[in-house]
Every structure is written in structure tokens, then in C-alpha cells.
Chains A and B, each alone.
Chain A
Amino acid sequence: MLLFRSEETVNAWCAAHNVPRRPLINLEQLWQLAVHWYANRLTVESRRPGPDEMVSIFASLGLTGPFWDPKSDQWK
């Protein structure tokens, strides 16, 4: 995923690469995702969140729907 100054430059990038516009998240949401994924990554207990846990983390940040569901088949 890429970083953009604004929604306008996202739209320009999508048009230039013929990629559909997909969800945007702000820096606070991005930080919370980073903490959930990586805060214990350098420890013995570290592991990647499972599918249901991922859905729960995304929902806690307001990211809902099939796009954020790792088990969704809507996007196959």
C-alpha cells in the first residue's frame, strides 16, 4: 500500500494505473494497525493475527465490509 498527500493524488494514481479506487485510511488508523500487527513481533510470542482476529481489529478501526475480510470470496 502506498502513501499519498491527499485523496486527489490517490485518484490520479488510480487513473494512471487503471486500478479501481479502494479504501483509504488516515495516519491514526494506520498507526493502530501497525501496533496490532507488530508490537510483539520481536518477542517469542509473536504471531500474525488470524482471520477472525483481523476482522475484529479492522472493525475496531471502522474498517468493515468484504474488502477487509480475509475470508471473503467476493474479491476472487
Chain B
Amino acid sequence: MPGADLDTTVKLAIYEITAETGRVPNSQAVSRKIDIDEERVLGAFARLHAKRLLLPEPGDPTRIRMAPPFSGVPTKFPVEANGVVYYANCVWDAFGIAAALHCDVISRSSDGQTGEPLTLEIKNDAPVLKPYVAHFAVPAAHWWDDLVFT
């Protein structure tokens, strides 16, 4: 993107690749897409992490565990949109993928306790209302203490 700073260019590349493929890219894939040295891409990953815009894979800074609302690994919240399957980090992010992509989505999820299949849908910019609920186990002040558990 002409004129954009490196961190913004990297961030947009991460999201463009993810939106297109359903898979969150690693630093090598981002480097290839924007033709910038991988070391500089890794520096941007670290700064985006500091701004709480992504979470690197623990122990491997070349991979991204979360580029919210997208997950870099399969989760219990798969989201289908435009013929692509994405993975959300949590139920909030399952709806977040619809908000980010601005399209209808369907998420075939399940009850956190019983495992019973529960389907979530966004149609025409609104949820298909059902009596389901989301439970926040961790208070807002601690969401980034352990984002995977939150």
C-alpha cells in the first residue's frame, strides 16, 4: 500500500491473505506478498503484538496464533463465509469474522458444556436470534493475561 507505514502494510497483508485463504499466514508468506525482508516483517509482528493487534505463536515468532478475530489454529468455532472456512478464537470472534468481512456467515459450533451442536448465523448484518448465551470467564482487565484461555 503506497504511503502506508511498515506495520500497517504488514497488518493489511496478514488480513488480506487470511480473508482470501482462511489461513493466517506466517512471516515468510507475508514477506513474499509485500516483498519486504522477513526480518523486518518479524519486527512488525512484534510491534503489532505490543499494540495487541496480534498474538504470535508461543515459542515461534514466525507464526501467528491469533490475528483477531481469526485464529491461526483450528478451534471449536469454524466460520463459513464466501465458500471459505475460517477459524475464530472464541464465540465473540465468530461473529467478529462476519463483522470484519462484511458478509453473511454460518458457524457450526457447540455447547461449551454438553457438546451439543449449536449453529450461529449472521444474515444481512444481523444475528439470527436464538436463546443461546456467551459466558465471559475472565474480566476485561485480564483478557490479555492469557488470551487463549479468555
Task: Name the contact of B143 in the complex, choosing from A16, A23, A41, A70 (C-beta under 8 A).
Answer: A70
Number of A-B contacts (CB under 8 A): 166
Q: Is A10 in contact with B135, judged by CB distance below 8 angstroms?
A: yes
Judge if B112 is at the interface, Cβ distance under 8 Å: yes
Q: How far apart are the CA atoms of A9 and B102 in the complex, in Å?
A: 31
Residues of the B chain whose Cβ atoms lie less than 8 Å from the Cβ of A23: 135-136
Which residues in chain A, 27-46, are within 8 Å of chain B measured between CB atoms? 27-28, 30-31, 33-35, 37-39, 41-42, 44, 46
Closest to A42 in B: B15
Main secondary structure on A side of the interface with B: mixed
Residues of the B chain whose Cβ atoms lie less than 8 Å from the Cβ of A12: 113-114
Residues of the A chain whose Cβ atoms lie less than 8 Å from the Cβ of B4: 44
Residues of the B chain whose Cβ atoms lie less than 8 Å from the Cβ of A58: 140
Residues of the A chain whose Cβ atoms lie less than 8 Å from the Cβ of B110: 3
Which residues in chain A, 20-75, are within 8 Å of chain B measured between CB atoms? 21-28, 30-31, 33-35, 37-39, 41-42, 44, 46-48, 54, 58, 66-75
Minimum distance in angstroms from B89 CB to a CB of chain A: 9
Q: Is A38 in contact with B136, judged by CB distance below 8 angstroms?
A: no
Q: Is A38 in contact with B139, judged by CB distance below 8 angstroms?
A: no
Residues of the A chain whose Cβ atoms lie less than 8 Å from the Cβ of B21: none
Q: Is A5 in contact with B111, judged by CB distance below 8 angstroms?
A: yes
Answer whether A26 and B126 are a contact pair too, CB < 8 Å, given A1-B90, A3-B91, A72-B140: no
Residues of the B chain whose Cβ atoms lie less than 8 Å from the Cβ of A76: 141
Residues of the B chain whose Cβ atoms lie less than 8 Å from the Cβ of A67: 136, 139-140
| 10 A-B pairs with least C-beta separation | A2-B112, A34-B95, A13-B113, A38-B96, A75-B139, A3-B91, A38-B99, A24-B133, A34-B96, A9-B113
- Beyond known contacts A1-B136, A25-B136, A48-B51: 17 more, CB 8 A cutoff: A4-B134, A5-B114, A5-B131, A6-B132, A10-B135, A13-B112, A27-B95, A28-B129, A30-B91, A34-B96, A38-B100, A39-B100, A42-B15, A48-B53, A68-B139, A68-B140, A74-B139
